[in-house]
Amino acid sequence: MTRSRRSFLQASAALVTTRAHAQVDFAQVQARPLLFPRDHGAHPEFRTEWWYLTGWLDGPNTDAAIGFQVTFFRTRTTIDAANPSAFAARQLIIAHAAIADPSRGRLLHDQRVARAGFGAASTSNEDTNVSVDRWSLIRSPQTGGYRSVVAARGFMLELEATPTQPLLLQGDAGYSRKGVGAAQASFYYSQPQLAVRARLTRDGSSEQRSGIGWLDHEWSSTFLPNNAAGWDWIGMNLDDGSALTAFSIRQQGTGNVPALHAYASIRPRGGSVQTFDARRVHFSTLAEWTSPATRATWPVAREVRVGDRTFVTQPMMNDQELDSRFTTGAVYWEGASRLIENGKPIGRGYLEMTGYVAPLRL
C-alpha cells in the first residue's frame, strides 16, 4: 500500500467513524484589509484554502522547457470542533504535484492527503508553512521567498521561489468576488514573476534548472454559486514584467451558456493594477483535446479578451490532465501554456480548468 493511499484511508476512516458531526459555522468572506505576514498563513475557520505554485523551468533551448505545479489544500471538515477525540479529522491537508515535459508527452504527477496532526500533516496560522507526508511549502519571513520539497512517486522536486515584485492583491484589495451575490467571494492574492531555482530528480538522475513562477493563495467558505460548473483561470508572467490574471466562472448547461462571473487584472512592472469586470472579460475556445483517460474534452487553447486586448494561450502539450478524484474529488486540466498577442509570444504561465468531467464541488 502506498503512503498516499494509506494516508487517504486513515483520513477517510476518521471522517466515517467520528461520532460527533454537527452543523459547522464556517467563517464567511467579508471585505477587510489583508494583514501580512499573518495572511500568508492558514485560515482554519474557513472551509477551503489553497497555495498554488506554478511555473516554467528553462532547459538548454526553448523547446526543452518544462512546467511544474505544486498545490497544497487545507479543508475544514464538518466534524464538530468541540469533539474531544484526538483522531477527529477536523482539518484535511491535500497536496498535488506535477511535471509537464513535452518529451514525455504526459504529466508526471502524484498526490497526498492526511488529516492534520500526529506529525502527518500541518499548517501554520502565522505564515506559509504547510506540509503533508514529506511534502512541504514554507515561506521565509526574512526573505519572503518560498521553499518547496516534493518527494513524489516518479520524481523529486526541490525548489526556491524568490519574489521580484510586490504582492498582487486581486479584486478589491484582496476581496475577490466569484459571483453576483455577496456570498460567493474569496480572499485572494498572487505573487507573480517569481525567480525560481529548482533541482529535479527523475529516472535516477538530477538536474538544476531555473525559471519563472507564480503563486496564488486563496481561501473561502462559499467559493462558487450553486449552478456553477467550474472555472477557467490563467496566471501569466509577461516578458515585459507585467502580470496577467483572468478567470471565468462557467455556468452548468450545454451550448453557449453565458458565464456566471468573470474578472481580470493586469499589472505592469512597477505600475498600478488595472482590474476588469465581467463585461470586459471573455474566454473562448480555439482548440480542444479529448482525454483518453476520462473522455473529457478540454479547450486547451484559449482566446482571452481583456478590455481592448486579445490574448491567446497555447499549451506546452495537450495531455496536462490531473485526476485528483482520489483526494479532492475533482479532475483538473492544469497546463503550462504560452501567451500570445498579435501573433507574437509575450509571456508564459498556466491555464487551469475545472468542471469539464463533472460540476466542481469544493
Determine the distance from the C-alpha atom of residue 101 to the mean position of all C-alpha atoms in its chain, rounded to a whole number: 19
Lowest pLDDT segment from 86-95, 290-299, 317-326:
86-95
Lowest pLDDT segment from 36-45, 60-69, 108-117:
60-69
Separation between Cα atoms, residue 190 and residue 161, nearest integer Å: 13
The single-letter code of the amino acid at 21 is: H
pLDDT, tens digit, 9 for 90 and up, residues 114-157: 999 888 899 999 999 999 999 999 999 999 999 999 999 999 99
| Structural fold of domain 3-18+40-354 | AttH-like fold (2.40.370)
Rg (CA), the chain: 19
pLDDT, position 345: 98
Separation between Cα atoms, residue 43 and residue 359, nearest integer Å: 26
- Whether the per-residue pLDDT at 22 is higher than 60: the answer is no
27: closest CA among 180, 188, 186?
Answer: 186
Peptide bond into 163 cis (omega under 30): no
Mean pLDDT of the chain: 90
pLDDT, position 85: 63
**DSSP single-letter state for residue 60:** S
The single-letter code of the amino acid at 203 is: D
Separation between Cα atoms, residue 195 and residue 222, nearest integer Å: 33
Separation between Cα atoms, residue 56 and residue 58, nearest integer Å: 6
pLDDT, position 255: 65
- Whether the per-residue pLDDT at 65 is higher than 70: the answer is yes
CB 34 within 8 A of CB 169: yes
Mean pLDDT of 203-227: 93
Determine the distance from the C-alpha atom of residue 288 to the mean position of all C-alpha atoms in its chain, rounded to a whole number: 22
Beta strands 146-152 and 155-162, pairing class: antiparallel
pLDDT, tens digit, 9 for 90 and up, residues 230-270: 999 999 999 999 999 999 999 987 667 789 999 999 999 99
Confidence at 312, pLDDT banded by 50, 70, 90: very high
pLDDT, tens digit, 9 for 90 and up, residues 343-362: 999 999 999 999 999 777 76
Separation between Cα atoms, residue 26 and residue 33, nearest integer Å: 20
Confidence at 199, pLDDT banded by 50, 70, 90: very high
Confidence at 80, pLDDT banded by 50, 70, 90: low
Confidence at 12, pLDDT banded by 50, 70, 90: very low
97: closest CA among 117, 75, 77, 113?
Answer: 113
pLDDT, position 94: 96
Mean pLDDT of 166-176: 97
Domain boundaries, the chain: 3-18+40-354
- Whether the per-residue pLDDT at 170 is higher than 50: the answer is yes
Between the two ends of the chain, the Cα-to-Cα distance in Å is 27
pLDDT, position 303: 98
**DSSP single-letter state for residue 12:** H
For cell 460548473, the residue is 229
Name the pTM for this structure.
0.91
Separation between Cα atoms, residue 232 and residue 236, nearest integer Å: 13
